[in-house]
Structure 1
Amino acid sequence: MLANLEELYIGGNRLSGVVLTYISNASRLAHLDLTSNQFTGVIPRSLGDLRLLKILCLANNSFSYESHYGELSFLNSLSNCKYLNVLWLNEIPFNGFLPVSVGNLSSNLESFYMNDCGLYGQIPSSIGNLSNLADLNLSQNALEGTIPPTFGGLLKLQEMDLGYNKFQGPCPSELCYLLNLGRLSLSSNLLSVVLYPLKNLKALMIVDLSVNNYFGDIPIAIGALQSLQALSLKHNRLQGFIPESMKNMLELQYLDLSFNNLTGEIPSSLQVLQNLVYFNVSFNRFRGPIPHGGPFANFTKLSFLSNEALCDAPWLQPCQTFEQSSRKKTVLFVLLALLDP
């Protein structure tokens, strides 16, 4: 009976126990979905004997693994599954590190999830061998080191989430080759200097680079990302002005630049962003009038908290009054300085 089985879907139940090694007797099995159960024990290496396997979903279980100093060596056996297209191992408490052999997984692999698995160590550079990968999620782990330059070889990548790890240093310039990338999340790491390589990624729709160590200016070239719908740069160390070129990002719906060191005025040209429904520049050093038109008519003071000298909004004093008050204070300080013996 097992020999004729081609698809097995038993996800979303309360099944427990171990997955027996004789699952490999189902030699024609192409789809195996055990997600969201209560399975325990070792993931059997015999899964690698399922040579026709295309989809393997084991996510959200309590599997363990046979390890050699923490290496997730069971992935070695899956390299025999040459047709494997989807591999979802997320939300399993592996608490180990990715072996170099992860790069030997099927060249047909398009979707690879190992988020929230307790992974540590570095991403092997061999991951760049997975040339058909379109969707990669390694978020919510404890991965560290730098992001390998070999990511630049994942030319078909459409979604990449490496958020909530411990990556540090600059992102590789090779990211600029990922021309099909539509969603990028590197949030909550220790990364720096990443904005410039993004200017070529015209397919980007969602970018989350929040809670990192990015510094310097927001590049003028960011205005070329005209398909972008959501951009979060909050909690970084960005300086300088909001570039006028951002007025060209007409699809933008969400923009968060809060908790940086940005200065100057909020460009009135951003009033043309009619799709913008969320805007936050709180905790910066902006000065001058808050725009009134377009989407700005709907934003409240919660979008502008704790800046240096914003004015001309219902909850703030008019700019003229502020400027006059500022000049008076300057004159007073000068007089006091002159009178000081």
Structure 2
Amino acid sequence: MPNWLFTKEATLQDLNLRNNLLTGSLDPIWHAQSSLSHIDIHMNRVTGQLPANLSSMFPVLYDLDFSINDLFGHIPTSMCEISSIGYLDLSNNKLSGRPACVFTNYPELSVLKVSNNKLGGPIFGGMNNLSNIYELRLDGNKFKGTLPHDLAGKLVRVIDLHDNQLSGELNVSFWNMSYLRVLNLAGNRITGKIDQHICGFTEIHLLDLSRNNLTGSVPNSCFIVLNFLNLTGNSLSGDISFPLFNTSSLIALDVRHNQFMGNVNWVGYLENIRLLSLGGNKFEGQITPNLCRLMYLRIIDLSHNKLSGSLPACIGNISFKGDTNDQFFQPANEITWVSDDYTTSYELMYFTFATKGNFYTYGRSFFVSVSGIDLSANMLDGEIPWELGNLNHVKSLNLSYNLFVGPIPTTFGSLKDIESLDLSHNKLSGPIPWQLTQLSSLGVFSVAYNNLSGCIPNSGQLGSFSMDSYVANTDLHNITQGNMCAPGPDPVVEEDVGEVPSDPVLYIVTAASFVLAFWASVAFSFCHPHGRTIILKL
């Protein structure tokens, strides 16, 4: 860190050293920099504590970005004496303590980011008025307490408090923030119901209340123009087939791991949806063919519900390519502030999908890098539609733990982008189609616990999987070096007493013994007087 820049009085106004490999600390600063208003050392390796004399060294500082470094210790009280600060970013460091004055001493502050530190104490330090704040990010810390009931700030666009230790009920009845676009309270300890007044945030584009302790039903007749809604990991219940939101605007809907019930016929109205995750609830009934209207889908997760009936063949008509303009998520991802100096973006987070046996969490690239279908752990039956073979852009397909019967469609050989295919724990029969050997991208594969028969193909990717992928198929066998089928991986079944030996020589000896014993019995019956007496009586 070139601290020699601060060793004498200078007329420097703007210092930008971001995205380098600078090391060292910020000390010493010997002379006040009376002209310096912008300092940016974002994404370096600067360590140590913040200088205690920041206010006297930088008296006119307006823009301060020390994010993504290795700074530790408390935020010095002198920093709060720089009343001119309008943009402060200390995120992604190791700062600790209770920065109460940060929330109250900056009359010009429009952007405050202290994400991913070890800061604690009461949220906002007792401050309710966010009159000049546009963006407030306090996520990834240890802030405690309840949310203020009368939070005000007509200019606020983003409030991100996720992954803290906040508690109490979500009461937004007196929140005066008519321009709020992003509200993220995920990963806290918030209880109670979702307040009906949340419908008053008519400009909101992203609402994330996931991973809390919310109960009850969701508000009805709520026409928020949402793009992203995440309620996963709560204890919410009831039927959500009524309009909670303006369905035509939704791009991502995640309500996994709650207790929602009812049918899923309403999903056909989510005409712009890219991510639809309803897994881990109590939805029942059939999968409606209306689902096939969702031509922009990239992710659908209906797993771990009580869905039944056959799978609509028209699902094979969905491209799972999204839209050619899937970078258009500007309403929630890029917000241009009224201030002339800053353009900032809000990254999507905590939208997850299970594939390759693991859960993966994706950010902004989620919608352009992943595509998949998860219908596992339901009660779906009938044959798997051959039309699913048209889904050549799907990377993950999970139909496991259902009641599917019949053969594996040979058309699955056309799933050229497939990386994970799980058909295990069904009632599928017939051979494994040789066409599956053409799936060059396949990394995870399972047809275990079915009724498959024939030989296990040993070419292509199928030859690289362990026997766990094929276990518990009684009539499914390996191909030996002589291109013969050998007994498969199933456990040895205890032989019956009268079972015919499998060795050919023993088979011949056994058969000959049986024939000789039969004719010996016949001869005895006719030749021996006692035998003739028994036959005459019969």
Change (3 A) 1:263 1:40: same
What's the Cα RMSD here? Answer: 2.5
Please report how far the alpha carbon of residue 122 of structure 1 lies from its aligned counterpart in structure 2 after TM superposition: 1.2
- Counterpart CA distance in 2 for 1:63 and 1:304 is 45
Residue in structure 2 matched with residue 182 of structure 1 by the alignment: 298
Change (3 A) 1:3 1:219: same
Give deviations 1:192-250, integer Å, cap 9, x for gaps: 23342422211162111111001000101111111011111111000000111111111
Residue in structure 2 matched with residue 5 of structure 1 by the alignment: 133
Partner-residue secondary structure (3-state), 1:276: coil
Residue in structure 2 matched with residue 194 of structure 1 by the alignment: 311
Change (3 A) 1:320 1:91: closer
Matched, 1:219 2:359: no
Q: What is the aligned counterpart of 2:256 among 135, 139, 142?
A: 139
- Counterpart CA distance in 2 for 1:226 and 1:234 is 20
- Counterpart CA distance in 2 for 1:178 and 1:127 is 19
Residue in structure 2 matched with residue 233 of structure 1 by the alignment: 399
The percent of aligned pairs where both chains have the same amino acid is: 29
Partner-residue secondary structure (3-state), 1:49: coil
The aligned runs of 1:152-163 (5 Å cut-off) are 152-163=268-279
Matched, 1:274 2:440: yes
Partner-residue secondary structure (3-state), 1:306: coil
Residue in structure 1 matched with residue 341 of structure 2 by the alignment: none
Partner-residue secondary structure (3-state), 1:297: helix
Change (3 A) 1:232 1:47: farther
- Counterpart CA distance in 2 for 1:321 and 1:173 is 42
TM-score (normalizing by structure 1): 0.86
Count of aligned positions: 317
Q: Is the 8 A contact 2:223 2:245 kept in 1?
A: no
Change (3 A) 1:238 1:52: same
- The amino acid of 2:181's aligned partner reads K
The aligned runs of 1:111-130 (5 Å cut-off) are 111-127=228-244, 129-130=246-247
Q: Is the 8 A contact 1:128 1:154 kept in 2?
A: no
The aligned runs of 1:1-341 (5 Å cut-off) are 1=107, 2-24=130-152, 26-46=153-173, 48-65=175-192, 72=194, 74=195, 76-101=196-221, 103-105=222-224, 107=225, 109-127=226-244, 129-147=246-264, 149-192=265-308, 193-203=310-320, 205-313=371-479, 318-319=484-485
- Counterpart CA distance in 2 for 1:8 and 1:320 is 65
Change (3 A) 1:47 1:289: farther
- The amino acid of 2:318's aligned partner reads L
Please report how far the alpha carbon of residue 285 of structure 1 lies from its aligned counterpart in structure 2 after TM superposition: 0.7
- The amino acid of 1:39's aligned partner reads L
Residue in structure 1 matched with residue 42 of structure 2 by the alignment: none
Please report how far the alpha carbon of residue 79 of structure 1 lies from its aligned counterpart in structure 2 after TM superposition: 2.1
> Higher Cα Rg: structure 1 or 2?
2
Q: Is the 8 A contact 1:47 1:78 kept in 2?
A: no
Please report how far the alpha carbon of residue 19 of structure 1 lies from its aligned counterpart in structure 2 after TM superposition: 1.3
Please report how far the alpha carbon of residue 300 of structure 1 lies from its aligned counterpart in structure 2 after TM superposition: 1.5
Q: Unpaired segments of 5 or more residues in structure 1?
A: none
Partner-residue secondary structure (3-state), 1:15: strand
More helix by share: 1
Please report how far the alpha carbon of residue 175 of structure 1 lies from its aligned counterpart in structure 2 after TM superposition: 0.7
Please report how far the alpha carbon of residue 260 of structure 1 lies from its aligned counterpart in structure 2 after TM superposition: 0.5
- Counterpart CA distance in 2 for 1:62 and 1:15 is 11
- The amino acid of 1:60's aligned partner reads G
- Counterpart CA distance in 2 for 1:321 and 1:158 is 45
